[in-house]
Amino acid sequence: IELLSSITRAQIYSDYQSAKKYADQALQLAEKNNWNWARCLAYSRQGYLGTIRGDHRTALEYDNKNVQIVLAQNDSSRLCIVYNEIGHDYVELGEYQQAYYYVTKSFEIAKKVKDHQSAGIAMHNLAVMYSKLGRMDLALPNFESSSKLSAEGKDEDGPSYNDHELGNAYLREKKYKEASQYLFSALSQSKNRGISILVPRVYQSIGDLHSSTGDHAKSLAYYDSAIRDFEKNENVFGVTETQLGKAKVFLLQKKFKEAKDLAQACRKAAAELKAQILLSECFEVLARCAEMQGDYRAALTYNKQAQQTQDSLANINVMSQVFENEFQMRSQKKDLELESLRNVREQSMSEIK
């Protein structure tokens, strides 16, 4: 089982189907023999394969199975990692109340076991959530904390992910100069470090940037690069998000048939993935397309479907929950940062001696 899991890990970015085959074999063996240690390893691999593919529902299914075993084993170090993985999937799905619960739990546990890398990842996930909710005042301090904790935890890939999401955050704020700076930094770092899972996501974001600034040719070129790389990992979620970006460009170019056909295909894929935020965005594009063509009845129907989809997420109360816990979170983050600073000082003093 360990060998099969090692092969899965080695092939996960180069040959997704082969990696999935070995992961399935490991899972069958683990469940056949009812070995908890093996099931924990197999569930983890299956969850990550789901995340790589953008199938966050399947990832959550396996991660939740994994949590039950880890809780029974009382393995705090492993628990904060799994909680982070669950929180990340909920952030990607736009289900922020669930995301907030798991990410903050991960941070609390990571603080207790002094796992700075997991704490940094938790802060990163929290920052991304705040950014998507339009709260840059909360997002930026968490990105800063994430960067400090990742450095303390020697997470060498952390800066690439941080710069990417900072670029996305500034893009949502329409601060295009800052967005460009961080996104191209993320692209350079992710390529240099060979983070193949991140590169297409950065391409997609740069496509969004050029779409926002009106350079449609560059936008479509970056979208095509993103789709090419997403398809290598069979990332259906990533392909669908990027195709919807192309549909928005076609809409700006008044290519209504192309925009509608692409948005309808994305709507179908988003529904199959049970990705409600993405599905809502598909309905919004279809509504704008219908409105621009003068079909106001169809536009009204699509807008209602978009609103119903958003309402189903029950994210309305998440910010009140955030404000209730934010003071405590800030105190905990400050404690970790002070501890990191003490560690650096102690190491410096020992080197001097």
Cα 162 vs. chain centroid, distance in angstroms? Answer: 11
Sign of CA dihedral 65, 66, 69, 70: negative
Question: The pTM is what?
Answer: 0.84
In angstroms, the CA 142 to CA 130 distance is 9
CB count within 10 Å of CB 145 equals 25
Sign of CA dihedral 176, 129, 234, 244: negative
CB count within 10 Å of CB 342 equals 10
Sign of CA dihedral 293, 174, 166, 327: negative
Averaged pLDDT in 10-residue chunks for the chain of 353 residues: 81 80 91 91 92 91 94 92 95 90 93 90 93 89 88 86 95 96 97 92 98 97 97 91 98 97 97 93 97 96 92 61 57 56 51 46
Please measure the distance between the N-terminal and C-terminal CA atoms of the chain and give it in whole angstroms.
Answer: 47
For residue 223, the one-letter residue type is Y
Predicted confidence at residue 238, as pLDDT, reads 95
Predicted confidence at residue 255, as pLDDT, reads 97
